[in-house]
Structure 1
Protein backbone atom coordinates (compact mmCIF):
# COMPACT_ATOMS: atom_id res chain seq x y z
CA UNK A 1 0.00 0.00 0.00
CA UNK A 2 1.09 3.55 -0.66
CA UNK A 3 2.92 5.08 2.27
CA UNK A 4 1.02 7.81 4.03
CA UNK A 5 2.70 11.19 3.96
CA UNK A 6 2.26 11.39 7.74
CA UNK A 7 4.53 8.35 8.09
CA UNK A 8 7.41 10.10 6.34
CA UNK A 9 6.69 13.33 8.23
CA UNK A 10 6.90 11.48 11.56
CA UNK A 11 10.08 9.75 10.41
CA UNK A 12 11.63 13.11 9.57
CA UNK A 13 10.66 14.45 12.97
CA UNK A 14 12.28 11.46 14.69
CA UNK A 15 15.48 11.90 12.70
CA UNK A 16 15.58 15.58 13.56
CA UNK A 17 15.02 14.84 17.25
CA UNK A 18 17.86 12.30 17.20
CA UNK A 19 20.18 14.82 15.56
CA UNK A 20 19.25 17.44 18.13
CA UNK A 21 19.84 14.99 20.99
CA UNK A 22 23.19 13.96 19.51
CA UNK A 23 24.21 17.60 19.11
CA UNK A 24 24.71 17.21 15.36
CA UNK A 25 21.95 19.68 14.49
CA UNK A 26 21.86 23.29 15.58
CA UNK A 27 18.52 23.90 17.37
CA UNK A 28 18.04 27.01 15.25
CA UNK A 29 17.98 24.77 12.16
CA UNK A 30 15.32 22.43 13.55
CA UNK A 31 11.95 22.97 11.91
CA UNK A 32 10.09 19.66 11.77
CA UNK A 33 8.20 19.99 15.05
CA UNK A 34 6.95 23.40 13.97
CA UNK A 35 5.90 22.16 10.56
CA UNK A 36 4.17 19.05 11.88
CA UNK A 37 2.49 19.58 15.23
CA UNK A 38 0.80 16.49 16.63
CA UNK A 39 -2.63 18.03 16.08
CA UNK A 40 -1.90 18.28 12.35
CA UNK A 41 -0.55 14.74 12.12
CA UNK A 42 -3.45 13.25 14.07
CA UNK A 43 -6.09 15.14 12.09
CA UNK A 44 -4.47 14.22 8.78
CA UNK A 45 -4.27 10.55 9.80
CA UNK A 46 -7.96 10.59 10.75
CA UNK A 47 -8.83 11.92 7.28
CA UNK A 48 -6.63 9.30 5.61
CA UNK A 49 -8.18 6.54 7.78
CA UNK A 50 -11.59 7.46 6.41
CA UNK A 51 -10.26 7.65 2.85
CA UNK A 52 -8.64 4.21 3.16
CA UNK A 53 -11.88 2.67 4.47
CA UNK A 54 -13.62 3.80 1.27
CA UNK A 55 -10.99 2.42 -1.12
CA UNK A 56 -11.94 -1.28 -1.25
CA UNK A 57 -15.19 -0.49 -3.04
CA UNK A 58 -13.58 1.42 -5.90
CA UNK A 59 -12.23 -1.30 -8.20
CA UNK A 60 -15.47 -1.45 -10.21
CA UNK A 61 -16.84 1.95 -9.22
CA UNK A 62 -18.24 4.54 -11.59
CA UNK A 63 -16.29 7.70 -12.32
CA UNK A 64 -18.76 9.60 -10.18
CA UNK A 65 -18.19 7.30 -7.21
CA UNK A 66 -14.40 7.68 -7.49
CA UNK A 67 -14.67 11.45 -7.76
CA UNK A 68 -16.99 11.47 -4.73
CA UNK A 69 -14.34 9.68 -2.63
CA UNK A 70 -11.67 12.10 -3.86
CA UNK A 71 -13.91 15.07 -3.11
CA UNK A 72 -14.56 13.85 0.45
CA UNK A 73 -10.86 13.35 1.25
CA UNK A 74 -9.90 16.70 -0.26
CA UNK A 75 -12.65 18.60 1.56
CA UNK A 76 -11.64 16.94 4.83
CA UNK A 77 -8.00 17.93 4.23
CA UNK A 78 -9.22 21.46 3.46
CA UNK A 79 -10.81 21.48 6.92
CA UNK A 80 -7.54 20.32 8.52
CA UNK A 81 -5.75 23.09 6.67
CA UNK A 82 -8.26 25.70 7.85
CA UNK A 83 -7.84 24.65 11.49
CA UNK A 84 -4.10 25.25 11.02
CA UNK A 85 -4.60 28.80 9.72
CA UNK A 86 -4.39 27.79 6.06
CA UNK A 87 -0.76 26.76 6.45
CA UNK A 88 -0.96 23.05 7.26
CA UNK A 89 0.52 21.80 4.02
CA UNK A 90 3.43 23.39 2.20
CA UNK A 91 4.28 22.62 -1.44
CA UNK A 92 6.09 19.34 -0.72
CA UNK A 93 3.33 18.15 1.60
CA UNK A 94 0.64 19.02 -0.95
CA UNK A 95 2.48 17.00 -3.59
CA UNK A 96 2.88 14.07 -1.20
CA UNK A 97 -0.83 14.09 -0.35
CA UNK A 98 -1.84 14.23 -4.02
CA UNK A 99 0.59 11.43 -4.89
CA UNK A 100 -0.79 9.37 -2.01
CA UNK A 101 -4.36 9.80 -3.24
CA UNK A 102 -3.31 8.89 -6.79
CA UNK A 103 -1.29 5.84 -5.71
CA UNK A 104 -4.01 4.62 -3.37
CA UNK A 105 -6.63 4.83 -6.12
CA UNK A 106 -4.31 3.07 -8.58
CA UNK A 107 -3.62 0.26 -6.10
CA UNK A 108 -7.38 -0.30 -5.83
CA UNK A 109 -7.72 -0.75 -9.58
CA UNK A 110 -8.70 2.77 -10.59
CA UNK A 111 -7.04 3.82 -13.85
CA UNK A 112 -6.41 7.41 -12.82
CA UNK A 113 -5.04 8.41 -16.23
CA UNK A 114 -8.12 7.10 -18.04
CA UNK A 115 -10.45 8.60 -15.43
CA UNK A 116 -8.96 12.06 -15.61
CA UNK A 117 -8.67 11.94 -19.41
CA UNK A 118 -12.38 11.11 -19.72
CA UNK A 119 -13.10 14.28 -17.76
CA UNK A 120 -10.67 16.57 -19.58
CA UNK A 121 -8.17 16.66 -16.72
CA UNK A 122 -4.47 15.95 -16.48
CA UNK A 123 -3.55 13.01 -14.26
CA UNK A 124 -2.41 15.21 -11.42
CA UNK A 125 -5.48 17.44 -11.50
CA UNK A 126 -7.82 14.94 -9.85
CA UNK A 127 -7.92 16.95 -6.60
CA UNK A 128 -7.84 20.46 -8.07
CA UNK A 129 -11.57 21.07 -8.25
CA UNK A 130 -11.93 20.98 -4.45
CA UNK A 131 -8.43 21.58 -3.11
CA UNK A 132 -7.68 24.75 -1.13
CA UNK A 133 -4.36 23.63 0.34
Structure 2
Protein backbone atom coordinates (compact mmCIF):
# COMPACT_ATOMS: atom_id res chain seq x y z
CA UNK A 1 0.00 0.00 0.00
CA UNK A 2 2.95 2.31 0.54
CA UNK A 3 3.75 2.14 -3.17
CA UNK A 4 0.14 2.90 -4.07
CA UNK A 5 0.23 5.86 -1.69
CA UNK A 6 3.43 7.25 -3.23
CA UNK A 7 2.05 6.93 -6.78
CA UNK A 8 -1.22 8.60 -5.85
CA UNK A 9 0.56 11.43 -4.03
CA UNK A 10 2.76 12.01 -7.09
CA UNK A 11 -0.34 12.15 -9.30
CA UNK A 12 -1.89 14.58 -6.80
CA UNK A 13 1.16 16.82 -7.17
CA UNK A 14 0.78 16.88 -10.96
CA UNK A 15 -2.91 17.65 -10.59
CA UNK A 16 -2.11 20.51 -8.21
CA UNK A 17 0.37 21.99 -10.70
CA UNK A 18 -2.48 22.22 -13.21
CA UNK A 19 -4.92 23.85 -10.83
CA UNK A 20 -6.80 20.65 -10.09
CA UNK A 21 -7.64 20.00 -13.71
CA UNK A 22 -4.86 17.73 -14.90
CA UNK A 23 -7.07 14.67 -15.34
CA UNK A 24 -10.50 14.32 -16.88
CA UNK A 25 -12.94 11.73 -15.55
CA UNK A 26 -12.02 9.08 -18.12
CA UNK A 27 -8.33 9.66 -17.45
CA UNK A 28 -8.87 9.23 -13.70
CA UNK A 29 -10.47 5.87 -14.34
CA UNK A 30 -7.59 4.89 -16.63
CA UNK A 31 -5.05 5.87 -13.99
CA UNK A 32 -6.80 3.74 -11.37
CA UNK A 33 -7.00 0.83 -13.82
CA UNK A 34 -3.30 1.25 -14.60
CA UNK A 35 -2.40 1.09 -10.90
CA UNK A 36 -4.58 -2.00 -10.50
CA UNK A 37 -3.08 -3.76 -13.57
CA UNK A 38 0.47 -2.88 -12.58
CA UNK A 39 -0.01 -4.38 -9.13
CA UNK A 40 -1.51 -7.53 -10.66
CA UNK A 41 1.33 -7.82 -13.20
CA UNK A 42 3.77 -7.80 -10.30
CA UNK A 43 2.04 -10.67 -8.56
CA UNK A 44 -0.18 -8.72 -6.18
CA UNK A 45 -3.63 -10.16 -5.60
CA UNK A 46 -5.46 -6.83 -5.72
CA UNK A 47 -8.80 -8.05 -4.33
CA UNK A 48 -6.99 -9.72 -1.41
CA UNK A 49 -4.88 -6.59 -0.80
CA UNK A 50 -8.00 -4.44 -0.73
CA UNK A 51 -9.82 -6.89 1.54
CA UNK A 52 -6.93 -6.88 4.03
CA UNK A 53 -7.30 -3.10 4.19
CA UNK A 54 -11.08 -3.33 4.63
CA UNK A 55 -11.63 -1.83 1.18
CA UNK A 56 -13.37 -2.76 -2.03
CA UNK A 57 -11.08 -3.58 -4.94
CA UNK A 58 -11.57 -0.19 -6.57
CA UNK A 59 -11.02 1.80 -3.37
CA UNK A 60 -7.29 1.23 -2.89
CA UNK A 61 -6.39 4.77 -4.04
CA UNK A 62 -9.23 6.61 -2.30
CA UNK A 63 -7.49 7.40 0.98
CA UNK A 64 -4.92 9.65 -0.74
CA UNK A 65 -6.52 10.56 -4.06
CA UNK A 66 -7.39 14.22 -4.62
CA UNK A 67 -8.10 13.98 -8.34
Shorter-chain TM range is: over 0.9
Residue deviations 1:5-55 (CA, integer Å, cap 9, x gap): xxxxxxxxxxxxxxxxxxxxxxxxxxxxxxxxxxxxxxxxxxxxxxxxxxx
Partner Cα separation in structure 2 for residue 126 and residue 107 of structure 1? 16
Q: Does 1:96 align with 2:42?
A: no
Partner Cα separation in structure 1 for residue 17 and residue 52 of structure 2? 34
User: Which has the larger helix fraction?
Assistant: 1
Structure-1-length-normalised TM-score: 0.50
Deviation at 1:108, TM superposition (A): 0.3
Candidates 39, 45, 49, aligned match of 1:111? 45
Residue deviations 1:100-119 (CA, integer Å, cap 9, x gap): 00000000000000010111
Query: Greater Rg, structure 1 or structure 2?
Result: 1
Partner Cα separation in structure 1 for residue 39 and residue 6 of structure 2? 14
Which has the higher relative contact order, 1 or 2, with Cα contacts under 8 A spaced 6 or more apart?
Answer: 2
- Return 5+ residue gaps in structure 1 as ranges: 1-66
List 4+ stretches of structure 1 deviating above 3 A: none
The two structures, once aligned, show a CA RMSD in angstroms of: 0.5
Deviation at 1:70, TM superposition (A): 0.4
Say how many residue pairs are matched: 67
- Return 5+ residue gaps in structure 2 as ranges: none
Superposed counterparts of 1:1-133, under 5 Å: 67-133=1-67
